Amino acid sequence: MFLLLSLSVIDRFGLFPEIRAVNAESVVDLLRFMATGMLTIITVMLSVLVVVLSLAAGQASPRSVPELMADPVTQNALSTFIATLVFALTAQGLIEFGAIDATGITAVLALALLIVAWAFKYLIQWIHHVVDTLKLNKIIARVHDQAHCALEDFFADETRPGGPEPEVAQSTDTMAVVHAARVGYVQVIDRRDIGVIADKENLHLNVTVREGDFVHPATAIMEVYSESELVGDTREHLQNAVVIASERSLEKDPLLGFELLTEITGHALSPSLNDPQTAIICVNYLKALLVHAGGISAKDYPQGRSKSGRVLYRSVTFHDMLKRSVRPIVREGAGSAEVIFAIADAMWEIATQATVDNLDSLPDELTQIEAFGEKQLLLDRDKKQLRSMISRVRTTLQNRHGN
């Protein structure tokens, strides 16, 4: 639009070089055709997008749909088509009102042809991308990539170790409880804002929830220790520092990515699909995430305290990630030899790659894998192979602990 207004000004002052003028009615007809075509394409595109998201939700998990909506190719294509529509309508109006005439119309025609070619390029690219998006492997890979980014953000959290030890509230301090402001899931806890309030008001806080928890007005989200009673404004500020919404977000919730992959696995193992190969693909991506998380020492995980030591948070540990990843799949897939073998193999790789202080999380999961396998596997040879794989993992754990 800015470009068209600039053309109008240039045309009014006669600053265009001598260019052969074209028929205004022909250009208006072309612009009208562009606008109609782009409106049709946008309508069809949105309809196709709804169908694609519905199919993706059916193939994978409904909770993976919000992550698919953040697709840059679709967003770029849609913005291009809308920009083309706006250009066509604006140019048509400026020509019909006489704001652009003579050689300016020729410039509009050249721009229109260039923009149409640009829009068609994005249309072809988007059609190919939609077909590619429906591949389940691509959906799983995208969920993994987003989970990996959330994991990296988690390890970059400002509540990392190295600050002072937590300050202890005095026995004479008054304890007050801050409840959730609404029903929903904790999306973000503004640690910086909470820390500022704690330092300013001389408070000691224990934040009892973390990102991903479901809360309601009766849920205590903070315990506040202070020398005097907690005033209403401070309570409200602390409540507002915990963002609650109707669904979880990967922004500050590192466990959500693991859970999305386990949901896709469970969906693939359901009797309606019975697709163990997709489950194995999810296990492989979970293994990549767990090996990465396990390779970071427990002392380097965010420790859950503010820089001043006045605020304590519930921290996420490697054990939380392992438990959320392995247990749902074992319950659903222990009867499939290929799936439970893939889980046992993942445990062995984690045992060889994780830091020693993260290895204590593995024995409990190994016990569950073995118990479910013994109960649900039908063939004795499969049970024997599972025992052998579990034994190899335990031997690896013993050797590493010995070192």
Higher pLDDT, 27 or 118: 118
User: How many distinct structural domains can be found in the chain?
Assistant: 2
What's the whole-number mean pLDDT along residues 24-28? 81
Last residue of a domain, one of 134, 157, 181: 134
pTM to 2 decimals?
0.78
329 neighbors 266 (Cβ within 8 angstroms): yes
The answer to whether residue 353 is domain-embedded is yes
Angle 9-13-15 from CA coordinates, rounded to 5°: 95
The answer to whether residue 115 is domain-embedded is yes
The answer to whether residue 151 is domain-embedded is no
Measuring CA to CA, which residue among 2, 10, 30, 29 is closest to residue 102? 10
Through-space distance between the first and last CA atoms of the chain, rounded to whole angstroms: 69
Q: What is the tens place of the pLDDT at every residue in 171-203? A: 446 788 999 999 999 999 998 899 888 888 888
pLDDT recorded at residue 186: 95
Angle between helices 380-402 and 337-353 (to 10 degrees): 10
Q: How far apart are CA 213 and CA 244, in angstroms?
A: 10
The answer to whether residue 236 is domain-embedded is no
The answer to whether residue 292 is domain-embedded is yes
10 neighbors 111 (Cβ within 8 angstroms): no
pLDDT of 88 higher than 80: yes
Last residue of a domain, one of 80, 113, 134: 134
The answer to whether residue 171 is domain-embedded is no
Q: What is the tens place of the pLDDT at every residue in 336-347? A: 999 999 999 999
- Give residue 92's identity as a one-letter amino acid code: Q
Q: How far apart are CA 334 and CA 339, in angstroms?
A: 7
The answer to whether residue 104 is domain-embedded is yes
Positive or negative: CA dihedral 136, 141, 146, 147 = positive
Are 130 and 260 in a shared domain?
A: no
Eight-class DSSP state of 203: -
Residue 14, both tokens: 């006669």
Q: How far apart are CA 100 and CA 146, in angstroms?
A: 48
- Residue 148: exposed, middle, or buried by beta-carbon count in 10 A (0-12, 13-18, 19+)? middle
The answer to whether residue 207 is domain-embedded is no
Last residue of a domain, one of 134, 163, 192: 134
Are 258 and 128 in a shared domain?
A: no
Q: What is the tens place of the pLDDT at every residue in 139-171? A: 888 889 989 999 998 888 755 444 555 554 444
pLDDT of 215 higher than 90: yes
Range of the domain at 323: 254-301+316-402
CB-side neighbour CA atoms (13 Å) of 383? 10
Q: How far apart are CA 278 and CA 282, in angstroms?
A: 6
Q: What is the tens place of the pLDDT at every residue in 348-357? A: 999 999 999 9
The pairing of strands 214-215 and 184-189 is antiparallel
pLDDT of 78 higher than 80: yes
Q: How far apart are CA 84 and CA 97, in angstroms?
A: 20
Residue 322, both tokens: 């392992």
